[in-house]
Structure 1
Amino acid sequence: MFENDNKILLTEDEMPTQWYNILPDLPEPMAPPLHPGTMQPATAEDFAPLFPMALIEQEMSQERFIDIPGEVLDVYKLWRPSPLFRARRLEKLLDTPAKIYYKYEGVSPAGSHKPNTAVPQAYYNYKEGIKKLTTETGAGQWGTSLAFACSQFGMECEIWQVAASYRSKPYRKTMMEIYGGILHPSPSDRTEYGRSLLAEDPNHPGSLGIAISEAVGEAAANPEARYALGSVLNHVLMHQTIIGEEALLQLAKVGETPDVLVGCTGGGSNFGGLAFPFLREKMAGKMNPTIRCVEPSACPTLTLGEFRYDFGDTAGMTPLMKMHTLGHDFIPDTIHAGGLRYHGMAPLVSHLYELGMVEAINIPQTECFEGALKFARTEGIVPAPEPTHAIAAAIREALACKESGEEKVILTALCGHGHLDLAAYENFLAGQMVDADLEQSVIDKSMETVPNL
């Protein structure tokens, strides 16, 4: 039935109704988050000023599967199940015996995978009577997603966007405002911390760590507000596993299992969402794919960062998490993949990397955009800058198969379209895009402020 199809679809009735929680399946437990004041393991009460109790319980849950609420499923059905494509035209261009499949999340209202967690986060806050959510955003996909999710439940949404992205992507601002979001560039003049940074540099490019500090500070000061995070935390990655659960069902329809799974990795939610269900099957001995994280060379958290406790934000207001970090003071180069410019990696992804259960590579942005043009000119979709990293890695793997003659099955996630990122493509097509040359001394300087625990 699907043998010659370009896309493999599920009906709404086939959509998974549970998220997968990988925590109870870990061969070794993760290190706990620490309270930023006492440096002792954080309790549920420590998280209560920022998150509703339902999400705190999910963060710490040892249940392997958690039911998706009916109200969340109803919103999901605006775009889910999302399609799985066979990249036949890209395969032909590369002249490879490999099969390339990509799970396309750009069909969501925000144009990315981010609503998969934005909707449940807004829902659980709404159920606990919260009136307003604050957050940060890099490229703008998370801010757009949370603004959309808040609109579904009649909530306010206030967003701090990394200044470099705010200035380079004006239509993301418009899209957030269409959904009712209130947007500020970060660092901003709305917070004391933001004002202190602007006093030092009025044109500060910002970072996700700085934007988190501003959003967290606003939420902590308002009893009717809470904070929402678009990546990194356990419950966020768990909400994204609907991607991988659907992909498992879709590949089963064509009798395929992946030999290689690659995913772009910034904070870890897109990667974890695709990879964790397949990692579960691998641990159960049902398949044996190589699972590979792909990050930008300008912000190589896994490949060059240290595995240690660090703050999730720049100001040191959040709990400390044991993760791969470049230092919370690290300000990445202003590459176009704004969603991958985070100093730390999700503790879960970092933990799996330390256990040797996943691999990691970093790729420069010019190679990523070269791959994106090949993809767009064959498959017809203009990718967001973030998944161009996964596309570049998939192309590397497919070309290796061309050399070896192996007929590998390659799976990746195209986590968003690039319709609001055309300035990046214009820059590349004009020959003006350069690769950042990240020096170890820059990382070393940032790491000086990381607690030595």
Structure 2
Amino acid sequence: MTRQKKIFLDEADMPKQWYNLAPDLPTALNPPLGPGGVPVTPEMLAPVFPMNLIEQEVSQERWIDIPEEIRQILFRWRPSPLIRAYELEEALGTPAKIYYKNEGVSPAGSHKPNTAIAQAWYNKQFGIKHLTTETGAGQWGSALSFACALIGGIDCKVYMVRVSFDQKPFRKMMMQTWGGTCVASPSMETQAGRDILAKYPDTPGSLGIAISEAVEAAVTDPKGETRYALGSVLNHVMLHQTIIGLEAKKQLAKVGIKKPDVVIGCCGGGSNFAGLSFPFMYDKINGADIQIIGAEPFSCPTLTKAPFIYDHGDVAQMTPLLAMHSLGHNFIPAPIHAGGLRYHGMAPLVSGALRDGLMEAQAIHQSECFEAGLLFAKTEGIIPAPETTHAIAATIREAKKAKEEGKEKVILFNFSGHGLMDLVGYDKYMSGALSDYEYPEHEIAENLAALKGYPLPK
């Protein structure tokens, strides 16, 4: 008997609305704060984002329509397949049923285009001609370059964290192929970059630094034709990604599964985790028994070790204060290969979900993650991105737990991207050149000392 490996949706069944978790959180979000601790108004954000996206950022509507023009572009790869990981299950000898949403099928190779297309489209509608952004591993920079090419009439400049710029040259080539411009951050192009290089000339860079450069480049455009685009953290980015979980719910229903027992995603800024998990958090808020796990690196333990505080999203403190779990905006991460997970803060909505007990967090060393990635590649055949291996490692942990307990659980995880541009990391792991790193408690304390006197969230 042939077993069903892939579960597809017809294009007509792709969601027509995004899900906004904000109005359903048990505890209301703390507002972003500007200078002097004053809540930020939409008008204060206008130099950075177009007003149509700001409206989504502050929305308290549960469901927000996806414009048909955006859906027509998403059809190029969506709905993405839901896949039963039979071979991984057999290798683990687990009674658990493991499913993964394959976001690696997008042209850019990850989940990032789900919001890149939306952000580029909304910016163009608002008359914006240029977008600036940052990128860690290069997936977001590639996705936004791709999106601008498809939307047309809008260009993209990417500030890429220096260590990833050096480790992943093909990401830069992808951006250039789609018409984007990519520079290593910190750079000499912005005051923020020059200040950092003067103080730390050999810095590997960080997402916080790259954000400072991208925001500065946007707000200093004398023509006002430039805006900033962010690949994670903010509410409207989480919103656009929920198409992942909404599709997954329909796909599970097609094979008779009313709900998964466990939902897992890797966590950096929060976007792919939110994309899969938020629609299931809606069910959990309404009584469903679902365990939701965010997996992060030991070297950047934002959810597992950082406090819930107000902090800036960037090093130069150009962004508003956000209520989130944060290691401190001066955090400089270890140069692990999961570049997309090296951010000091966590999305306010994800931080709120952790605070409210809707999810739990696990920190995992990169050696365990790469080992999980190799097992996945040898069983399911797809080489996962280093970021994605964190979700796979957490999935393997839960599958082994199900075996120990003798329980037939349904485990769903987000395969956030493939690793074909990350083979240098695999090579280093297999040759024994990678070591585990746990971010020291005293360095976290030093970073947080700089926040003394900042307001505290409720």
Q: Same fold (TM over 0.5)?
A: yes
- Offset at residue 288 of structure 1 (A): 1.4
Aligned to 2:445: 444
* Of 261, 264, 267, the match for 1:262: 264
- Offset at residue 177 of structure 1 (A): 0.4
Query: Separation in 2 of the partners of 1:282 and 1:429?
Result: 40
Query: Separation in 2 of the partners of 1:227 and 1:212?
Result: 9
Give the superposed CA RMSD: 1.1
Aligned to 1:205: 204
Aligned to 1:337: 338
Aligned to 1:412: 413
Aligned to 2:327: 326
Query: Separation in 2 of the partners of 1:95 and 1:371?
Result: 15
Aligned to 1:85: 83
Query: Separation in 1 of the partners of 2:88 and 2:362?
Result: 22
State whether structure 2 residue 179 is matched by structure 1 residue 180: yes
Moved more, 98-107 or 194-203: 194-203
Aligned to 1:276: 278
Query: Separation in 2 of the partners of 1:284 and 1:330?
Result: 37
Moved more, 195-204 or 118-127: 195-204
* Of 120, 125, 128, the match for 2:126: 128
- Offset at residue 193 of structure 1 (A): 1.6
Aligned to 1:220: 219
The one-letter amino acid paired with 1:358 is: M
- Offset at residue 282 of structure 1 (A): 1.9
Name the SS of the counterpart of 1:106 in structure 2: helix
Deviation by residue 1:125-159 (Cα, 9 ceiling, x = unmatched): 00010000000000000000001111122211011
Aligned to 1:42: 40
- Offset at residue 201 of structure 1 (A): 3.1
Q: Do the aligned partners of 2:301 and 2:439 also contact (CA within 8 Å) in 1?
A: no
Q: Do the aligned partners of 2:372 and 2:392 also contact (CA within 8 Å) in 1?
A: yes
Count of residues in Structure 1 that have an aligned counterpart in Structure 2: 450
> What are the ranges of 5 or more consecutive residues in structure 2 without an aligned counterpart?
none
Name the SS of the counterpart of 1:386 in structure 2: helix
- Offset at residue 200 of structure 1 (A): 2.8
Moved more, 206-215 or 64-73: 64-73
Deviation by residue 1:228-275 (Cα, 9 ceiling, x = unmatched): 000000010000000000000000001112111111001001000000
The one-letter amino acid paired with 1:379 is: E
Moved more, 339-348 or 254-263: 254-263
Aligned to 2:141: 143
Query: Separation in 1 of the partners of 2:439 and 2:148?
Result: 38
Q: Do the aligned partners of 2:284 and 2:358 also contact (CA within 8 Å) in 1?
A: no
Query: Separation in 2 of the partners of 1:263 and 1:392?
Result: 10
Name the SS of the counterpart of 1:38 in structure 2: helix
TM-score, normalised relative to structure 2 = 0.97
After superposition, residues 56-205 of structure 1 pair within 5 angstroms as: 56-153=54-151, 154-205=153-204
Moved more, 20-29 or 71-80: 20-29
Query: Separation in 2 of the partners of 1:254 and 1:284?
Result: 23
Query: Separation in 1 of the partners of 2:290 and 2:362?
Result: 16
Query: Separation in 1 of the partners of 2:416 and 2:274?
Result: 12
Percent sequence identity over matched residues?
Answer: 58
- Offset at residue 87 of structure 1 (A): 0.3
Deviation by residue 1:391-421 (Cα, 9 ceiling, x = unmatched): 0000001111111111111000000000000
Query: Separation in 1 of the partners of 2:437 and 2:407?
Result: 34
The one-letter amino acid paired with 1:104 is: N
Aligned to 1:30: 29
State whether structure 2 residue 44 is matched by structure 1 residue 55: no
The one-letter amino acid paired with 2:208 is: G
The one-letter amino acid paired with 2:180 is: G
- Offset at residue 321 of structure 1 (A): 0.3
Aligned to 1:310: 311
Query: Separation in 2 of the partners of 1:32 and 1:172?
Result: 35
Deviation by residue 1:10-46 (Cα, 9 ceiling, x = unmatched): 11111111100111112221100001x2320000001
Name the SS of the counterpart of 2:247 in structure 1: helix
- Offset at residue 452 of structure 1 (A): 2.6
Name the SS of the counterpart of 1:387 in structure 2: helix
The one-letter amino acid paired with 1:152 is: L
Query: Separation in 1 of the partners of 2:279 and 2:111?
Result: 16
TM-score, normalised relative to structure 1 = 0.98
After superposition, residues 281-292 of structure 1 pair within 5 angstroms as: 281-285=283-287, 287-292=288-293
The one-letter amino acid paired with 1:381 is: I
Q: Do the aligned partners of 2:20 and 2:60 also contact (CA within 8 Å) in 1?
A: yes
- Offset at residue 202 of structure 1 (A): 2.8
Name the SS of the counterpart of 1:360 in structure 2: strand
Aligned to 2:12: 13
Query: Separation in 2 of the partners of 1:438 and 1:309?
Result: 21
- Offset at residue 433 of structure 1 (A): 1.0
Name the SS of the counterpart of 1:136 in structure 2: strand
Query: Separation in 2 of the partners of 1:265 and 1:196?
Result: 29
The one-letter amino acid paired with 2:369 is: C
The one-letter amino acid paired with 1:196 is: D
Q: Do the aligned partners of 2:131 and 2:154 also contact (CA within 8 Å) in 1?
A: yes
- Offset at residue 4 of structure 1 (A): 2.0
Aligned to 1:359: 360
Deviation by residue 1:62-93 (Cα, 9 ceiling, x = unmatched): 11111111111111011000000000000000
Structure 1 runs of 4+ with >6 Å offset: none
Name the SS of the counterpart of 1:202 in structure 2: coil
Name the SS of the counterpart of 2:156 in structure 1: strand
